[in-house]
């Protein structure tokens, strides 16, 4: 069905304004450690990687082809994904019966959600996973309202693309399955279109599934390791509490909660109960599985849209008091959205000077900006150590990194400084090996003095990682020392298979 232009113009204006704002914001600071690894993977396209499915590296490769290694250009698709999600939130409100004003408000709340603000500024798979959740909610509502079973083809296509983005989309799919069985949509179980949609999703996912099979389902080992680490260090402990403020934001809590209540308890809302199932089932599964709070972020735009519709319908029922409520509500909404915009902007936009008050506010909420600082300085220090070696030794020297951010930084900034390609046992880097010729000398990053003492080689301190802003982050605080190791006592062909690690 073709949408009237008037129903998408203002949400689109909001989305475009947000996109332009991010183009300017996203050129500050530097590449995040996750983006540095993604840059490397984008140069070596495959149907799978240890840490994620192949779609995000493919989009990153497209960014490289279009914009080179421009920081803002590299993040274009992430910014675009968040802008599209805002438009979709407006369309979701429309499917639930919201007026044009309600659609605009739904788009605004989604655009200003803290998670969306942050993920629109980083080229990571979570940005696109978020979009697929929102798109699936809209498609399911189109299915409910139209009764046209052919929408299952679009739903299946998005699920397949979602599986090529982030495997946790299966939690959203679980919600869709339960929603189908628990609502009148169960009649579609007899429709060939539903099963064609299932087949399409599996067909799209097939290349990555084959890659996993050929690599012994290595991503399952990775996910088990990362999950155990997150549970061990407490990253999953406050999952439920963080749902109140971490994804849609504390200011939006009354709105999305009103939406959830409306969907489950009101006669008008129960028609769209599929949306409630798409939230409650993943919520329950993530609690059981001990997921991280942001895994559910993509479920909130549909609740925000429902909440906006619920509030609109409440005001509409007030009869003679409606005009007064509308005037008061407009003023309150303006203040509400302004405060939310300021708060989310301080948390999510990359405008504040490093170490300024705005920087410290964002740092209190997350560490993503801090992890963008200091990479060129790290590579410069490695280059100083490398070029201080005798020429004959340099010919047989490798740069060994213990995390993917260091490897990505060496491979991005190192060629201009004469450094060799980094070797690393972490994630997909392990498959690339240690080079055609086993190195005799290794410059090691990411180890502590205690860890390096156990290395089967003679290692000595060679330098320390610093950044010009003195920003504490993983590189400058957790493992700032750089070492040179020689006389490896175990041959590389024997040692490398045992070095594989995840991070």
Quick check: 318 pLDDT over 90? no
Quick check: 332 pLDDT over 90? no
Task: Please give the Cα distance from 333 to 29 (Å, whole number).
Answer: 33
**What are the residues facing 397 on neighbouring strands?**
441
Which one is predicted more confidently, 334 or 407? 407
- pLDDT at residue 319, rounded to an integer: 57
Flag whether the pTM goes above 0.85: yes
Quick check: 67 pLDDT over 70? yes
Q: For strands 441-445 and 397-401, give the pairing.
A: parallel
pLDDT category at 5 given cuts 50, 70, 90 is low
pLDDT category at 202 given cuts 50, 70, 90 is very high
pLDDT category at 8 given cuts 50, 70, 90 is confident
Task: Please give the Cα distance from 232 to 433 (Å, whole number).
Answer: 30
Q: Which residues neighbour 331 within 8 Å (Cβ) at sequence distance 6 or greater?
A: none
- pLDDT at residue 1, rounded to an integer: 45
pLDDT category at 333 given cuts 50, 70, 90 is confident
Give the tens place of pLDDT for each residue, 238-272.
999 999 999 999 999 999 999 999 999 999 999 99
Task: Please give the Cα distance from 171 to 254 (Å, whole number).
Answer: 25
- pLDDT at residue 9, rounded to an integer: 86
Share the mean pLDDT of the chain: 94
DSSP 8-state assignment for residue 474: I
- pLDDT at residue 334, rounded to an integer: 83
Give the tens place of pLDDT for each residue, 335-378.
888 999 999 999 999 999 999 999 999 999 999 999 999 999 99
Q: Which residues neighbour 303 within 8 Å (Cβ) at sequence distance 6 or greater?
A: 248, 255, 256, 257, 259, 260, 263, 275, 279
What strands, in cross-sheet order, belong to the sheet with 481-486?
397-401, 441-445, 481-486, 458-464
Q: Which of 247, 26, 20, 38 is nearest to 121 (CA)?
A: 26
Task: Please give the Cα distance from 321 to 249 (Å, whole number).
Answer: 30
pLDDT category at 430 given cuts 50, 70, 90 is very high
Q: The tokens of 450 are what?
A: 């205690």
Distances (CA, A) of 356 to 30, 36, 362: 17, 25, 10
Task: Please give the Cα distance from 423 to 84 (Å, whole number).
Answer: 38
Q: What is the mean pLDDT of residues 143-172?
A: 98
Task: Please give the Cα distance from 255 to 245 (Å, whole number).
Answer: 12
């Amino acid at each position: 069905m073709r949408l009237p232009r008037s129903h998408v113009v203002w949400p689109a204006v909001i989305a475009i304004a947000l996109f332009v704002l991010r183009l300017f914001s996203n050129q500050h600071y530097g590449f995040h450690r996750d983006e540095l690894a993604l840059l490397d993977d984008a140069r070596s396209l495959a149907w799978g990687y240890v840490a994620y499915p192949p779609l995000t590296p493919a989009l990153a490769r497209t960014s490289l082809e279009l914009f080179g290694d421009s920081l803002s250009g590299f993040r274009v698709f992430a910014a675009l994904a968040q802008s599209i999600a805002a438009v979709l939130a407006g369309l979701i409100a429309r499917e639930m019966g919201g007026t044009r004003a309600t659609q605009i408000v739904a788009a605004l709340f989604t655009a200003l959600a803290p998670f969306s603000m942050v993920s629109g500024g980083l080229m990571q798979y979570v940005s696109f996973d978020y979009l697929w959740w929102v798109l699936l909610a809209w498609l399911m509502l189109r299915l409910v309202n139209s009764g046209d079973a052919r929408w299952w083809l679009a739903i299946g296509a998005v699920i397949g693309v979602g599986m090529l983005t982030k495997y946790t989309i299966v939690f959203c799919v679980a919600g869709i399955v339960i929603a189908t069985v628990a609502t009148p949509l169960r009649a579609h179980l007899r429709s060939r279109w539903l099963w064609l949609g299932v087949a399409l999703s599996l067909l799209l996912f097939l290349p990555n599934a084959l890659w996993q099979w050929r690599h012994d389902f290595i991503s399952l080992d990775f996910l088990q390791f990362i999950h155990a680490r997150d549970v061990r260090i407490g990253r999953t402990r406050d999952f439920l509490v963080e749902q109140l403020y971490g994804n849609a934001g504390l200011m939006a809590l009354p709105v999305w909660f009103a939406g959830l209540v409306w969907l489950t308890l009101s006669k008008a809302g129960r028609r769209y109960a599929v949306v409630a199932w798409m939230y409650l089932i993943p919520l329950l599964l993530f609690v059981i599985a001990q997921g991280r709070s942001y895994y559910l972020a993509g479920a909130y735009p549909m609740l925000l849209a429902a909440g906006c519709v619920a509030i609109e319908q409440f005001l509409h029922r007030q009869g003679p008091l409606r005009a007064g409520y509308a005037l008061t509500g407009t003023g309150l909404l303006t203040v509400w959205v302004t405060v939310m915009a300021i708060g989310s902007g301080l948390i999510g936009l990359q405008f504040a000077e490093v170490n300024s008050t705005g920087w410290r506010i964002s740092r209190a909420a997350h560490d993503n900006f801090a992890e963008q600082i200091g990479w060129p300085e790290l590579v410069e220090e490695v280059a100083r150590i490398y070029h201080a070696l005798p020429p004959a030794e340099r010919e047989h020297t490798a740069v060994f990194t213990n995390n993917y951010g260091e490897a990505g930084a060496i491979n991005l900034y190192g060629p201009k400084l004469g450094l060799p390609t980094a070797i690393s046992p972490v994630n997909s880097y392990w498959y690339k090996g240690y080079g055609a010729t086993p190195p005799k000398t290794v410059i090691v990053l990411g180890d502590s003095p205690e860890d390096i003492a156990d290395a089967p080689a003679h290692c000595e301190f060679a330098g320390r990682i610093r950044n010009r802003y003195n920003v504490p982050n993983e590189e400058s605080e957790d493992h700032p020392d750089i070492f040179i190791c020689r006389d490896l006592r175990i041959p590389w062909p024997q040692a490398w298979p045992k070095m594989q690690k995840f991070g």
